Structure 1
Amino acid sequence: MSFCQHCIQGVRHEGEPEGTLETIGGVACYIATPTIDYVKDKVILLLPDAFGIGLINSKLMTLRKTASRFAPKDVQVHGYDIGTVQVVVIDYYNGDSLPPDALNDKTLNFRGWLATHGAEVTCLPLDKVIAALTEEGITRFGATSYCFGGRYTFVIAFDKVIQCAVVAHPSLLEVPKDLEATLITYFIKAKVPLLINACKNDRSFPAESQAKAGEISGDGKFAPGYRLEYFPGCTHEFAVRGDLTDPLVKAGKEEGSFKTSVGFFLTYL
């Protein structure tokens, strides 16, 4: 499996989360629900990095004031006002995500932690949340994911659960073998628009992998829609744990990766 030291490094961001911790289908989730009118039959699932919902960073990405950050208010898409949308951050680590204090801990046995969080345990909480939300009337799902979560966005896309997929600096894909197989499977089976937010310094998703992704899915080969955005001066984890005092990283995270993701959801979800 492909991962690197940057999977557990980065900066803890500051701010005040505006969502709530709730249980969906028996699974702990952090939910950002707009306080103004919002689209009731759509949800964006946020599949977090290894720090799950314990680290503040993922929570701060979901809501600003009254509206979801992933779907700004009063934007016309396909002839109607998409308004805002609820965002659900799923604890698919069964309460055992990396603790916030593990950030930048060079003594952490990350490989050992990964060994206990494979697909056989991680997919079940995802399935439970999606099933419960479907029962509540959700008919369209988008998924946005970071690092660890990238692999599982592909999984639920294969299962035809979601209608729009966004991944930022994905990990846990063997480079190049597993990555190529995953993208080819996605190309054949998923049929869901895909955005990949990539960067310059990323051992988990390096330049050759980015090029391979374009070779497989780019230039109109993938009819539902494919896009890869590249952010210079950024390192794996920039989209969720980047150092915002660095102008290039801040631009890559906020003006680049995040706004690109929002636009992708507005177009396809």
Structure 2
Amino acid sequence: MSCPECFSGHKHTSDPQGREEKIHGLDTYIAEPKDGKDAKGIIIIIPDAFGWQFVNNRILADHYAAAGDFLVYLPDFMEGSAAPEWLLVYVESVADTSSLSAWLTKPYAIAMLLYGAGPFMVRNRFGISYPTVQTFFQKISENEGSKLPVGAAGFCWGGRHAIYLSHGEKSSSGKPLVNASFTGHPSNCSFPAELQPVKQPLSIALGDLDINLGPKQVKVIEDTFKTLENVDTEIIMYPGAGHGFCIRADPGREVIKQAEAAEKQAIDFFKKHFA
């Protein structure tokens, strides 16, 4: 079950530089390497609850393309049922305890949170969404990625999908669906069960204030990674960062530095395994 922090955070005001196109049946935001450079690989972003149109996710795609010379796809895996962006406002209201008026309006904010988040969680249950994600990766592996390495970058809602993709499934051509996966603060995961089948390189970024994955779960992740033979894995903890920091960090606060470091973590990990 998703928590309020899955729908909280800061919305950026920058303008994305990519373009939109339908790829293998899904509306997709595309970011490409600058100055016509050849792509060193394909990164497919599996986004947070706010989906492919959320500006923060598109800006991240632009950053990956520019910094790593990657071709980046951000598909509409939710097929039009992403969480509404106005939830950011109501989650902030739910957390506000600064005044009497804030307390008086809290029941309404909670009702709006349930109204907006409920349909998203029902329509995008893992059992429904993963086949869509899986099929897209299969088609990319057999077509655009037939001669390029492919990576999955999943955040919050998309994190669990990225972990499953690292289980080593192959396309019809015999190529793994992903050469490497990265996930920032994944949600709704079951550890260690979903980590034990990992066969492809996997990198995880977590904040030490993440209420979804506390110290006990982090220890389980670390211990499970130690049991995986011949698989490159890592988990990096970011002090002072909470759930959602990789995508929705406020540029005006210190946590933006942690978000930038996690972005570099992902890019470096993909470069290493795309070499």
TM-score, normalisation: structure 1: 0.83
SS at match of 2:22: strand
The reply on whether 1:223 has 2:260 as its aligned counterpart is no
The reply on whether 1:238 has 2:235 as its aligned counterpart is no
In structure 2, the partner of 1:179 is: 191
In structure 2, the partner of 1:68 is: 65
SS at match of 1:103: helix
In structure 2, the partner of 1:77 is: none
Greater C-alpha Rg:
2
Given that residues 55 and 99 in structure 1 are in contact (C-alpha distance below 8 angstroms), is that contact kept between their aligned partners in structure 2?
no
In structure 2, the partner of 1:94 is: 79
What displacement does 1:245 show? 1.2
What displacement does 1:267 show? 0.5
Structure with more helix by fraction: 2
Moved more, 129-138 or 27-36: 129-138
In structure 1, the partner of 2:160 is: 151
What displacement does 1:35 show? 4.2
In structure 2, the partner of 1:127 is: 134
Moved more, 224-233 or 110-119: 110-119
What displacement does 1:266 show? 0.9
In structure 2, the partner of 1:79 is: none
Structure with more strand by fraction: 1
Q: How far apart in 2 are the matches of 1:69 and 1:41?
A: 11
The reply on whether 1:192 has 2:200 as its aligned counterpart is yes
Against the structure 1 CA distance between its residues 63 and 111, is the aligned structure 2 distance closer, same or farther, given a 3 Å change threshold? same
Tell me the percent identity.
Answer: 23
In structure 2, the partner of 1:262 is: 267
Given that residues 166 and 261 in structure 1 are in contact (C-alpha distance below 8 angstroms), is that contact kept between their aligned partners in structure 2?
yes
In structure 2, the partner of 1:75 is: none
Moved more, 155-164 or 144-153: 155-164
Q: How far apart in 2 are the matches of 1:37 and 1:224?
A: 34
Given that residues 62 and 70 in structure 1 are in contact (C-alpha distance below 8 angstroms), is that contact kept between their aligned partners in structure 2?
no
In structure 1, the partner of 2:100 is: none
Structure 2 portions without partners, runs of 5+: 92-111, 170-175
- Relative contact order (alpha carbons < 8 A, sep ≥ 6): 1 or 2 greater? 1
Could you say what the CA RMSD is over the residues aligned between the two structures, in angstroms?
2.0
Matches within 5 A, 1:28-177: 28-40=27-39, 42-64=41-63, 68-71=65-68, 84-106=69-91, 107-109=112-114, 110-139=117-146, 140-158=149-167, 159=169, 160-173=176-189
TM-score, normalisation: structure 2: 0.82
2:219 aligned to which of 196, 207, 211: 211
CA offset digits 1:74-102 (Å, max 9, x no partner): xxxxxxxxxx1200012110111012222
Against the structure 1 CA distance between its residues 156 and 50, is the aligned structure 2 distance closer, same or farther, given a 3 Å change threshold? same
